[in-house]
Amino acid sequence: MTPAQQSAAALKVCQLAPVVPVLVIDDLAHAAPLARALVAGGLPALEVTLRTPAALDAIRAMADVEGGTVGAGTLLTPADVKAAKKAGATFGVSPGATDSLIKACEDEGLPLLPGAVTATEIMTLLERGYTVQKFFPAEQSGGAAFLKSIGSPIPQVKFCPTGGISLKNAPDYLSLKNILCVGGSWVAPKEAMAAGDWATITKLAAEASALR
């Protein structure tokens, strides 16, 4: 799968909803009901970060939830790519991009949303064929103002910014022409997951899905 083909697939994922939940799952029992709650609220694209021992099993469990599109976040190595694809991830997200990570996604046929944060990084990925990129960490790297500015000289690239984004500031990003969606963890609070309060998560997802 070429970078251009990966970006075409990533574009479809990013167009599913204005917000992609960025999920850190510690308890495997939370995976399926969490996915159902988010999908019910209108957020079908789900990024499970590979930051916990339960992450890969959570991807497997969430992949069976009707209406969901499950991906793996925090991809750092080729081994991460292989494990994510094997677990059922249909897309991958990385905080940055390396040659070995890109090659692994090409070899495994896993659409990658690669991270970039400088003009040079964005241009380098564009040169390889990635027209859809992650901007991370967004708030700490200039936020919506930076992305608005970079859109003038590099209009070919569309972004999914993540990092420090909330219900309050998400509209600042989503109003920009070069923003497809945003990533955020606020739609799945740890307290709600621990309490099994899936109704609250569905409500938060519904609020997020109405953004634009």
Q: Per-residue pLDDT tens for 123-175?
A: 999 999 999 999 999 999 999 999 999 999 999 999 999 999 999 999 999 99
- Closest-CA residue to 73 (of 64, 63, 84): 84
To the nearest 10°, report the CA torsion of 108, 21, 168, 159.
10
> Between 15 and 212, where is the model more confident?
15
pTM of whole model > 0.85? Answer: yes
- pLDDT, one tens digit per residue, over 24-82 is 999 999 999 999 999 999 999 999 999 999 999 999 999 999 999 999 999 999 999 99
Number of other CB atoms surrounding residue 32 within 10 Å = 17
- pLDDT, one tens digit per residue, over 8-22 is 999 999 999 999 999
Mean pLDDT confidence for 89-106: 98
List the catalytic residues: 47, 134
Three-class DSSP category at 158: strand
Determine the pLDDT at residue 212.
75
